[in-house]
Amino acid sequence: MRASSWNASCVRGLALGCALVAVGCSAQGAASPDTVRIGIATAPATLDPRFALDAASVRLAELMHCALVRMDRRFAPMPELAASWHWQDPYTLVVRLRPDFRFHNGRLVRAEDVAATLRSILDAKTKSPLFALFRNLQAVQVRGKRLLMLRLRKPEPGLVRKLGIGILPRELAQEGAHARKTLGCGPYRLVHFGEDKIVFARVQGSGPKRLVFFVVRDATTRALKLARGELDLIQGDVPAYLLPFFRRRGLRVVAAPSNTFTYIGFNLRKPPLADRRVRKALAMAIPRRAIAKALFGGLPKLAETVLPQEHPDGVQVPPVPYDPQRAERLLDEAGWPRGKDGVRFRLVYRTSTNLERIALAEAVQAAWRRIGVAVKLEPLEWGAFYARIRSGDFAVYSLSWVGVADPEIYFWILHSSMVPPAGANRGGYRNPQVDAWLEEAKRTLDARKRRALYQKVARKMHEDFVYAPLWREPVVAVLGPRIAHYTPWPDGGFRGLLTLRLQSAPPFQESRAAAR
């Protein structure tokens, strides 16, 4: 790691030490035995499921709203409000509802509520950001209190995966946005929505009776509040430099592999990156495991494909080995020998100004320097960086696909018609065979055939080194002494709270731990 990243880590560590001195060892009064206090970095913008786009909104909204389906831990759709579904024909999905779901005011959830929610998303007057997700939905027809027919403009086998949208009562769905006052049919009802605190009370299920989410924007402050017993759990936005602090305090750090895929993207339109051998060499020169350990505490799990291997449509492919000697030979074969200055060619690597992203870029820069590739780093503020990447104005960049569960992402990022601004084929990848596989996969309702097609696409993408794969960023949670058991959900959400178990922890024990 270069000096700038090391200095940044030192500054953060010093800040943490100073903060410990400043706050002393005081601990807040003990929480109610049935209440769990969770620290989050950002407040949700809304709890109306039709407008929830940011991670905090999506993750908290799913605690209070029920949906037709939810994704299980293996990223397969499982029924929630829906009792069953089947395709009547390639254009018509028939959904039957369960009879036992109620809104928090006691009224049974009916098919007309689901229809009203979906219709409001499709209504231009609503201005729901989810409109694009459902633009292929032509009509929602109610066939009784518990039966729906969803009619499409063209076949879309992946529609079921999109039905994880929270359902509102018809009377609310027919109105405008309900960001802070809304009614759900999920396991928790909303009690309070403030700037710095959101409170839920359990309606059904076996989770804690009360959940209190405290908005604590600074990572170090969240760590201190957890150590002092003011919080019971923090999840997400856990910087690697805080991990030793948590372990010294006896706080448990748990991590789960996520479906967030981190990669390095290439511009395939012109030399040298137009040559597959060059892209393969660059991928083989990255010591992924060493970087993950040095920068992220060894928590990321190395990954090869966009969809996890455990996904129903996932596939196992050979891992990209770390082999800088082989990488050098590939570059020689591709016609890029070292010059008198030892440099084969030069690249500009664009990244955001996030410190961890910069540290990653510096580590890759050092690795590629060893095989004769000179890299100039260009950190940009997020808006400017993302605009450049979306427009294809880059040679190399690093990003993550967050929360990927639908195999149709391969069409979005690989099909030749999806070059920006139409889609996210940012590198300009073109392969007629891959296009044909993707088009067939979008048409077929045969799950086995569809899976086989997407697996072919994933293998070919890996073989062509469209990306240099890095890892799956873990979902990291840190548990206070009151938490007996908690398993993070792969998408970074809080559904693990529904099965969380508490244990008693005397107040003096928390204070003594903070004083060590």
User: Does this chain's domain 55-173 share its CATH topology with 261-472?
Assistant: no
Q: What is the pLDDT of residues 356-411, one digit of tens each?
A: 899 999 999 999 999 999 999 999 998 899 889 988 899 999 998 877 888 989 99
CATH number of 3-43+194-255+476-515: 3.40.190.10
d(CA 282, CA 361) in angstroms, rounded, equals: 13
Q: What are residue 468's DSSP bridge partners?
A: 264
346 DSSP β-pair partners:
374
What DSSP string describes 440-496?
HHHH---HHHHHHHHHHHHHHHHHHTSEEEEEEPPEEEEE-TTEEE----TTS-SGG
Give the CA radius of gyration of the chain: 25
pLDDT of residue 31: 65
Q: Does residue 247 carry a pLDDT above 60?
A: yes
Task: Say which range, 16-20, 123-127, 158-162, has the weakest mean pLDDT.
Answer: 16-20
Give the H or E element holding residue 20.
helix 3-23
Q: What is the pLDDT of residue 176?
A: 84
pLDDT digits (tens, 9 = 90+) for 133-157: 898 999 999 999 999 999 999 888 8
Rounded to the nearest angstrom, the gap between the alpha carbon of residue 19 and the centroid of all alpha carbons in its chain is 31
pLDDT above 90 (res 132):
no
Which pLDDT does position 4 carry in this prediction?
43
pLDDT greater at residue 508 or residue 504: 504
Long-range contacts of 101-106 (CB under 8 A, 24+ apart): 101/66, 101/185, 102/185, 103/169, 103/183, 103/184, 103/185, 104/64, 104/183, 104/184, 104/185, 104/189, 104/203, 105/169, 105/183
Residue 216 three-state SS: coil
The CA-atom distances, in angstroms, between 36 and each of 164, 185, 213, 225, 434 are 26, 21, 8, 14, 48
Q: What is the pLDDT of residues 453-500, one digit of tens each?
A: 999 999 999 999 999 999 998 899 999 999 999 999 988 899 999 999
Q: What is the pLDDT of residues 45-88, one digit of tens each?
A: 999 999 987 888 999 999 999 999 998 887 889 999 999 999 99
In this structure, CATH architecture of domain 261-472: Roll (3.10)
The answer on pLDDT for 516 being more than 80 is: no
Contacts of 369 (CB under 8 A, 6+ apart): 375
Give me the pLDDT at residue 199, please: 97
Q: Tell me, what's the pLDDT at 505?
A: 57
Tell me the domain boundaries of the chain: 3-43+194-255+476-515, 55-173, 261-472
Res 512 pLDDT > 80:
no
**Using CA atoms, how far apart are residues 196 and 513, in angstroms rounded to an integer?**
27
- Residue identified by tokens 């996210």 is 424
**Helices within 200-287 (DSSP H only):** 219-227, 243-248, 276-284
Residue 443's pLDDT is what?
Answer: 85
Instruction: Please tell me which residue, 5 or 81, carries the higher pLDDT value.
Output: 81
Q: Mean pLDDT in the chain?
A: 89
pLDDT of residue 26: 41
Six-digit token pair at 262? Answer: 């981190």
More confident residue, 255 or 234: 234
The number of helix segments (H) and strand segments (E) in the chain equals: 15, 21
Q: Which one is predicted more confidently, 82 or 511?
A: 82
Going by the DSSP 8-state scheme, the letter that residue 308 receives in this structure is -
- CA dist list (Å): 359 to 2, 313, 349, 364: 8, 33, 13, 9
- Quote helix, strand, coil % in the chain, to nearest 5: 35, 20, 45
Report whether pLDDT(116) > 50: yes
Closest CA to 216 of 75, 19, 380, 456: 19
pLDDT of residue 311: 87
Query: Left, alpha or beta for 425 (phi > 0: left; psi -120 to 50: alpha)?
Result: beta
Q: How far is CA 466 from CA 276, 360, 400, 445, in A?
A: 8, 19, 14, 28
The share of the chain scoring above pLDDT 90, in percent, equals 69
Give 137's strand partners. 152
Q: Which residue has the tokens 């129903």?
A: 312
Q: Which two structure tokens, joined as six digits, stand for 331?
A: 């570059």
Taking the C-alpha atoms of residue 344 and residue 328, their distance in angstroms, rounded to an integer, is: 10
Q: Which of these, 79, 54, 48, lies nearest to 190 by C-alpha position? A: 48
The whole-number average pLDDT for the span 218-238 is 94
**pLDDT at site 205:** 83
CA dist 327 and 205 (Å) reads 54
Whether the pLDDT of residue 269 is over 80: the answer is yes
Is the pLDDT at 16 greater than 60, yes or no? no
Residues 349, 355, 359: CA angle, nearest 5 degrees: 55
d(CA 252, CA 489): 17
- At residue 296, the pLDDT reads 86
Among 285, 301, 427, smallest CA distance to 367 is for: 285
* Percentage of the chain modeled with pLDDT above 70: 92
Per residue, what are the HEC states of 97-150? Answer: ECCCCECCCCCECCHHHHHHHHHHHHCCCCCCCCHHHHCCEEEEEECCCCEEEE
Instruction: Give residue-wise pLDDT tens across range 403-453.
Output: 788 898 999 899 999 998 888 899 999 999 999 999 999 888 888 999 999
Q: Which CATH superfamily is domain 55-173 in?
A: Dipeptide-binding Protein; Domain 1 (3.90.76.10)
Q: pLDDT band for position 11 (50/70/90)? A: very low
CB atoms under 10 Å from CB of 444, counted, come to: 16
Amino acid 476: pLDDT:
93
